[in-house]
A and B are shown apart, each in its own frame.
Chain A
Amino acid sequence: MHMKQRLIAVLAATSLVLTACGDDAGSGSDGKIAGDITVLTQRTDLVDTVLPEYKKKFEAKYPGTNVKFEAITDYEGEVRVRMNTKNYGDVLPIPNSVTADQLPSFFEPLGTVDELKDKYRFVRSEQTFGGKVYGLAITGNAQGYVFNKKVWTAAGITTPPTTPEEFLSALKAIKDKTGVVPLYTNYKDGWPLGQWEGVRGAVSGDPEAVTKLAKDDAPWSPGKEQYIIDSLLFDAVKGGYTEADPTTTNWEQSKGMLGTGKIATMVLGSWSVVQMQAAATSKDDIGYWPFPNQVNGKFHTVVGGDYKNGINVNSKNKATARAWVDWFADESNYAIDQGGVSVVTSAQLPASLADLQAAKTEFIEINPAPKGEEGLADKIGNTAEIALFDGKYRQRLVDAARGAKKETKEQIFADLNKKWADTRAKLK
């Protein structure tokens, strides 16, 4: 009997503790900027350094608030699962896998596109649905490739190649003259290969590129963007201009290797410049050039938002959450500090993009998709099991190019075209 009573007591105590945990976020629900908010972040590297300073400044501006950070290593994967509950923080970077039509179920609208488009970049087409904006970018990126200037100069190349062929001969010159790995694929980690997809739109200089991709039945046909991007990767690997064993690459190591001139080039978004500089002997060694393709004698680069801060639709403290999102965009200076393009329209372009500007690159933003077709290209990609922004299908290209798979480029492209067209037909 005694044991039973004790058990009941333990159970009762436990449930008390549990309920106590449940409702501690009561304050601030009345629309005042006060009380606690939890901010999720993917920057595990900044959570103990830069972010506490932001917290201090924010709390000084809005007395009575308390910001808690939660850094998550596998951000995309973990948060997507957590979003099946109501508990995914008050402010969080919207995971890239959330499709446009799912935004209203999970995030609070921040205003209409018309209200926000003059003040902020990237709100016209990214993370919007039904004319409403659901997130403000924490920073923005241009697309192209990051390279070690010393190595490229030693190989005799001082101006950006203007065609894929020129780019390949530049890689050859680097290999012959310096012996450095001309281009690093980061095949093992996978996602760096997905970064190649980022240059779509920059190849053709067409702001409608993504809308057109979703309407194309054969994107991997000569002359089209996917063909040009993936051919460049294939030919570079086939030419032997990439690392000898791509299956044992290491992202963290590769930054130091590019910084110190053991690797010449990587195709990554402009966010990488600051990280490469941090790993370099001298900041000036790191350069950033546009994708080697010109339209009407001009380079193009696509500027797009990085993660966007959104507000959990279930948040109990939306007023404070909103204040944080606005403060982060307007006053934190995060984008500039990280070498990115600020979400605020009036802000200057960062120094990391000076090389792009010197090459007279035209900066474009992708136009919004027509109503009802938001995110369609990537939806086709996922349903077709190609997943454009994941490195997986490009790993297959690399394998074929280095002779590990018995497939030709044409066979792979034909297969991709077929999957793409079949899926497009199915989704209609």
Chain B
Amino acid sequence: MAIDTKPASELRRAGRPARPHNVARTLTPYLFLAAPLAFLIVFTYIPVVNMFGYSVTSWDGLSPSREFVGLDNYVEIATRPELFGVLKVSLYYIGASVVQIGLALYFATILSFNTRFRNLFKGVLFFPYLINGVAIGMIFLFFFQPGGTLDSAMSALGLGGATQQWLGDPSVVNWSLAGTSIWRYLGLNFVLFLGAIQSIPAHLYEAAEIDGASRWDQFRHIILPGIRPIVGLSFILAISGSLSVFEIPFIMTGGANDSETFVIQTVNMAFKYYKLGLASAMAVVLLLIILLVTWLQRRVAPDEKVDLS
């Protein structure tokens, strides 16, 4: 934008607090907010409101008329317990996210000290998060194929006997997929933790070192308490993410072979069986479940202010 050239009349009054300026100043933050808010409203809130609307109809996703059915869809969900059976698949991902947070904490702590090649390792750990989810699905599909990368690597290490159908065996498939999910999202947790750790004042470590604290002591008594809110937030994100896993299993198995998650089931309901009304109701139910779980988590582990100094 061009630089504002003020008209002479305005320049003359420059000494006094000019009103037009104040208006512009009060408006500025709102104008900056307008764009993201518009996106948020158009792409999140309006669709959510629409979804509530669809969930009380028997719409098939195409028909010009939408028959109002009241709470029938919700009654159907409540009377079909098998729809919730798929939630047990989420347990694998919850387990995986605990491992993921543990690993992320470990790497973030190590790399916050003076480690050799620390910037390289930071990049290596964060990189998977930048890759497109579809590409990751493809890579790991080849990785898990019989005779694929994993099998060849294992035979090269003399573990050839332990290879199996990583995606074909229903008792293994969810571990494989959850492992892929760890690989993908570890970087995000890692960066969050690293940022939080770096905001801890350096003199605390110095003081601790003078007092003879080991690295493990420093981690337990300085780092962990210092980043508690971020760890708590990560757990909330991890659990709500585990309940609504979609991308990785959808691309890699399409939900076949007992790897179907609640969201895949919802998508199938909407776009395979054309029950958009029921699918919307399922989405609403999932939203409520996630809100409930998050509320419970906050009750169990309340947010505490951190005061390290």
Contact = CB atoms under 8 A, between A and B. Distances in A.
Interface of A: 1-4, 6-7, 77, 80-81, 83-84, 97-98, 102, 105, 187-190, 244-248, 250, 382-383, 385, 387, 390, 392, 395, 399, 402, 404-405
A3 B268 CA distance: 49
Of the listed residues B28, B173, B253, B258, the one surrounded by the most CB atoms of chain A closer than 10 A to its CB is B253
Interface in B251-283: 253-254, 256-258, 268-269, 271-275
A84 B145 contact: no
B271 A98 contact: no
A247 B167 contact: yes
Contacts of A81: 61
Given A1-B20, A3-B24, A395-B256, 7 more contacts: A80-B61, A188-B256, A189-B254, A190-B254, A245-B146, A382-B273, A399-B256
B212 interface: no
Contact of A248 (B28, B146, B268): B146
B24 A247 contact: no
Interface in B63-109: 63-64
A187 B258 contact: no
A81 B61 CA distance: 7
Contacts of B253: 188, 247
Q: Is the interface on chain B under 10, 10 to 19, 20 to 34, or 35 or more residues?
A: 35 or more
Contacts of B273: 382-383, 385, 387
A1 B146 contact: no
B144 interface: yes
A226 to B, nearest CB: 18
**Majority-rule SS of B interface residues:** loop
A392 B256 CA distance: 8
A102 B169 contact: no
Contact of B271 (A6, A77, A190): A77
A247 B256 contact: yes
Given A1-B23, A80-B61, A105-B64, A247 B168 contact: yes
A314 to B, nearest CB: 12
Nearest to B267: A77
Contact of A2 (B4, B64, B271): B4
Contacts of B27: 3-4
Interface in B120-171: 141, 144-146, 148, 165, 167-170
Given A1-B23, A98-B62, A404 B1 contact: no
A86 to B, nearest CB: 12
Contacts of A244: 146, 165, 168
28 contacts: A1-B24, A3-B28, A3-B31, A4-B24, A77-B271, A98-B62, A105-B64, A190-B256, A244-B146, A245-B145, A245-B146, A245-B167, A245-B168, A246-B168, A247-B173, A247-B253, A247-B257, A248-B167, A248-B168, A382-B275, A383-B275, A390-B272, A392-B256, A392-B268, A399-B256, A399-B257, A399-B258, A404-B257
A395 B62 contact: no
Contacts of B144: 248
Interface string B15-42: 0000010011001100100000000000
B170 A399 contact: yes
Contact of B145 (A248, A385, A387, A405): A248
Q: Which 3 A-B pairs have the closest CB atoms?
A: A245-B168, A247-B167, A248-B145
Contacts of A189: 254
Given A399-B256, A405-B258, A83 B62 contact: yes
Nearest to B170: A404
A405 B141 CA distance: 22
A404 B169 contact: yes
Given A3-B27, A97-B274, A246-B168, A84 B62 contact: yes
Contacts of A399: 170, 256-258
Contacts of A83: 62
Nearest to B28: A3
A245 B269 CA distance: 27
B257 A395 contact: yes
